[in-house]
Amino acid sequence: MALLEISGIDVFYGRVQALHGESLEVDQGEVVALIGSNGAGKTTTLRTISGLHHPVRGTIKFDGKDITRSEPQNIVNLGICQSPEGRRLFTRMSVLDNLRMGAYTRRNQADIKKDMDRVFELFPRLKERLNQIAGTLSGGEQQMCAMGRALMAKPKLLMLDEPSLGLAPILVETIFQIVREINAQGTPVLLVEQNATKALEVAHRGYVLETGNIVHSGTGKELLSSKEVQTAYLGM
Amino acid sequence: MAETVQRLRGTFFTLNVNSLLNLAGGIAVLVAIIATLQRVFESGGTYFFQTLGFGLAQGAIFALVALGYTMVYGIIELINFAHGDVFTLGAFFSLAMMPLFGLNPSSSGAGVILPLLGLFVITMLFCALVNITIERVAYRPLRHAPRLAPLITAIGMSSLLEGVMFIWRGPFNLAYPDFLPEQQLSLGGGITIAAKAVFVIILALILMVGLTFFINRSKLGKAMRATAQDRDAAQLMGININRTISATFFIGAALAGAGGIIYGLYYNSVAAFDGFAYGLYAFTAAVFGGIGNVPGAALGGFMIGVIAAMSDGYFTVAWTRPLIFGILIFVLVFRPTGLLGMRVPEK
């Protein structure tokens, strides 16, 4: 049984159907990439897993529990955390307060401190900017802060929505390196990316989403070498 | 070519209108300040400080009410028009509860302090419960409706509360017992300030400092700030949005309830429809300070209080209301974010 099991979900925005019977799985220890063009439903998928939308049909199971109708705060409590599209930091709070907000559901101060140190190891830059107001950070630093904030929840599954969007190429490298590192430390990652090549290089497996349907799936290598995926998403 | 000319003319025209308006606004403010100063010098220091004391005391009450407007606006972008009536309800409810605490119009001295404290607690709690009920039945079901819809139910809730108080106690001014000391405190040099005003200001400041600590330090306070800044992101942190919004209504109404008692103690009279006008003053104060901004609401409250007192004291009472709402329009036109309004950093 996989850690996260999504089977056949239909999600609507009002009357517009955004996801058509989407199914995907994330297993322990994996990095899974979800790629596709703008409007394919990648962000909707993550928002639905987090409980910000509820599917009309289909089920979502996490760790064996049905979370299809759960509220966002309960889903965070179960151990799913995401760094959302556009980072969505609390722009008028300091970096430190943003990180603390990430640990909102946790009580054990000693554990929180330990994870704070782990975040500083991954992102030394955040430690230098600890008391700066988050809205005044550079784009790359904001992305680091958003990822650090998500890690502060000590997630059993980390979801990253477009972590490389709008970053300088050198920073994109760093961010993907850190995704590898987070995964190596034992956290499974569901990665939504427009930068399909980079995402598939990091990922163990990947899914290709097209107007709310999964059209391809396979290991990262398989998708990278697939003719169809290459022409449509990798620009080859 | 014609298009370019049109565009240039457009730019020129808007520039012109804006700078003209700015100039007119600046002159108006300047004239008002000079006229006030002239009258202040004519009537002397004692009168000035008494007016100032009155203004600060009334401003303290505006501030307590304005905080509720601004906190609720900050978190769900709704002007809770029922808030001013929750404030009056505080005065009405506390009046009805007085016998329970052994308070009657002839009580006085240090013996009233403890019962008064109990009265504050029970009134604040009552107003808070009324306000979270209002949110639950009138605003929450409309959270995803167009913005105008909850605004209209807010006005409806305001009328409903006024109606209830009207039926309960009638349209008259009710006498509110006078427990506060009447004497004037001397500040030296012939300057005096009413002890009553000092009491009101200190009490309001204590409540405001408490609120600030709560919002900045407590976990719930941080959840409130996070929810106000980005509701989706707050949910992704595991914050229970509904509970946080309820807490905001709870705290805002508790402050309004305390404000209601302080209003009664200070003016010794309260009527069912007082909250309407007072609420609008407090709303103006919230906008003046920057709607959604907590320190701004406190500052705006004191400023509106003093401006209203100066207008009452040095010009005529009849012009005070037009002046205050003139300020509201002025702020909305020239500085919609208010005095301490925040510029939101780009995402």
Do residue A90 and residue B225 have CB atoms under 8 angstroms apart? yes
Output the 3-class SS for chain A: CCCEEEEEEEEEECCEEEEEEEEEEECCCCEEEEECCCCCCHHHHHHHHCCCCCCCEEEEEECCEECCCCCHHHHHHHCEEEECCCCCCCCCCEHHHHHHHHCCCCCCHHHHHHHHHHHHHHCHHHHHCCCCEHHHCCHHHHHHHHHHHHHCCCCCEEEEECCCCCCCHHHHHHHHHHHHHHHHCCCCEEEEECCHHHHHHHCCEEEEEECCEEEEEEEHHHHHHCHHHHHHHCCC
Do residue A88 and residue B237 have CB atoms under 8 angstroms apart? no
Nearest C-alpha in A relative to B221: A101
A82 in contact with B, Cβ within 8 Å: yes
CB-CB: which of A77, A91, A102 is closest to B344?
Answer: A91
Pairing of strands B184-186, A189-193: unpaired
Nearest C-alpha in A relative to B220: A104
Do residue B235 and residue A52 have CB atoms under 8 angstroms apart? yes
- Counted domains in chain B: 1
Q: Which residues pair with B184 in a beta bridge?
A: B194
Give tens-digit pLDDT for A149-165. Answer: 999 999 999 999 999 99
Phi-psi group of A179: left, alpha or beta (phi > 0 → left; psi -120 to 50 → alpha; rest → beta): alpha
Q: What is the pLDDT of residue B347?
A: 35
Residue A1: pLDDT band by 50, 70, 90 thresholds?
confident
Give tens-digit pLDDT for A56-110. Answer: 999 999 999 999 999 999 999 999 999 999 999 999 999 999 999 999 999 999 9
Distances (CA, A) of A214 to A34, B206, B208: 9, 59, 55
CB-CB: which of B226, B234, B236 is closest to A82?
Answer: B236
pTM across the whole model:
0.88
Do residue B345 and residue A102 have CB atoms under 8 angstroms apart? no
Residue B15: pLDDT band by 50, 70, 90 thresholds?
low
| CA contacts within 13 A on the Cβ side of B321 | 6
Q: Does B22 reside within a domain?
A: no
Do residue B237 and residue A101 have CB atoms under 8 angstroms apart? yes
Residue B77 three-state SS: coil
Alpha-carbon span A84 to B129, nearest angstrom: 35
Do residue B345 and residue A93 have CB atoms under 8 angstroms apart? no
C-beta contacts of B36-42 below 8 A and 24+ residues apart: B36/B310, B36/B314, B39/B314, B39/B315, B40/B314
Tokens of A114: 């330990």
Give tens-digit pLDDT for A168-186. Answer: 999 999 999 999 999 999 9
Q: Does B74 reside within a domain?
A: yes
Q: What is the pLDDT of residue B275?
A: 92
> Taking the alpha carbons of A52, A55, A56, A62 in that order, is the dihedral positive or negative?
negative
Contacts of A133 in chain B (CB under 8 A): 345
Do residue B238 and residue A104 have CB atoms under 8 angstroms apart? yes
Pairing of strands A205-210, A31-35: parallel
Q: What is the pLDDT of residue B344?
A: 47
Alpha-carbon span A16 to A13, nearest angstrom: 5
CB-CB: which of B219, B229, B232 is closest to A84?
Answer: B232
Q: What is the pLDDT of residue B107?
A: 79
Q: Does B293 reside within a domain?
A: yes
> Taking the alpha carbons of B313, B318, B321, B322 in that order, is the dihedral positive or negative?
negative
Q: Which residues pair with B161 in a beta bridge?
A: none
Q: How many other CB atoms sit within 10 Å of the CB of residue A227?
A: 8
Residue B186 three-state SS: strand
Interface of A with B in 112-171 (CB under 8 A): 133, 135-136, 149, 153
Do residue A92 and residue B345 have CB atoms under 8 angstroms apart? yes
Q: What is the pLDDT of residue B345?
A: 41
Mean pLDDT throughout B326-345?
Answer: 79
Q: Which of B208, B205, B152, B199 is nearest to B180 (CA)?
A: B199
Q: What is the pLDDT of residue B346?
A: 37
Nearest C-alpha in B relative to A81: B236
Do residue B237 and residue A102 have CB atoms under 8 angstroms apart? yes
Do residue A88 and residue B235 have CB atoms under 8 angstroms apart? no
Residue B282: pLDDT band by 50, 70, 90 thresholds?
very high
Contacts of A51 in chain B (CB under 8 A): 235
pLDDT of B241 higher than 80: yes
- Choice between B190 and A50, residue whose per-residue pLDDT is larger: A50
- CATH number of the domain to which B216 belongs: 1.10.3470
Residue B340: pLDDT band by 50, 70, 90 thresholds?
confident
Residue B41: pLDDT band by 50, 70, 90 thresholds?
confident
CB-CB: which of B223, B230, B345 is closest to A104?
Answer: B223
Specify the amino acid at residue A202: V
Q: Which of A140, A146, A150, A50 is nearest to A91 (CA)?
A: A146
A224 Cα to chain B: minimum distance (Å): 32
Nearest C-alpha in B relative to A103: B237
B185 Cα to chain A: minimum distance (Å): 43
pLDDT of B332 higher than 70: yes
A29 in contact with B, Cβ within 8 Å: no
| CA contacts within 13 A on the Cβ side of B331 | 22
pLDDT of B343 higher than 60: no
- The torsion angles phi and psi of A180, rounded to 5 degrees, stand at -60, -45
Give tens-digit pLDDT for B141-197. Answer: 999 899 899 999 999 999 999 999 999 999 999 999 998 888 888 877 778 889 999
Alpha-carbon span B159 to B200, nearest angstrom: 28
Nearest C-alpha in B relative to A87: B347
Mean pLDDT throughout A23-46?
Answer: 94
CB pairs under 8 A between A and B: 77
Alpha-carbon span A147 to A133, nearest angstrom: 16
Contacts of A145 in chain B (CB under 8 A): none
Do residue A97 and residue B222 have CB atoms under 8 angstroms apart? yes
| CA contacts within 13 A on the Cβ side of A58 | 22
Residue B296 three-state SS: helix
- Its domain, for residue B257, covers 50-334
Q: What is the pLDDT of residue B274?
A: 92
Q: What is the mean pLDDT of chain B?
A: 89
Q: How many other CB atoms sit within 10 Å of the CB of residue A228?
A: 11
Q: What is the pLDDT of residue B3?
A: 60
What proportion of chain B, given as a percentage, has pLDDT over 90? Answer: 67
Q: What is the mean pLDDT of chain A?
A: 94
Alpha-carbon span A69 to A47, nearest angstrom: 13
Mean pLDDT throughout B230-255?
Answer: 96
- Angle A185-A187-A190 from CA coordinates, rounded to 5°: 135
Q: What is the pLDDT of residue B79?
A: 92
Q: Which residues pair with A6 in a beta bridge?
A: A24, A60
Q: Does B45 reside within a domain?
A: no
Residue B7: pLDDT band by 50, 70, 90 thresholds?
low
Mean pLDDT throughout A228-233?
Answer: 85
Tokens of B294: 């907590």
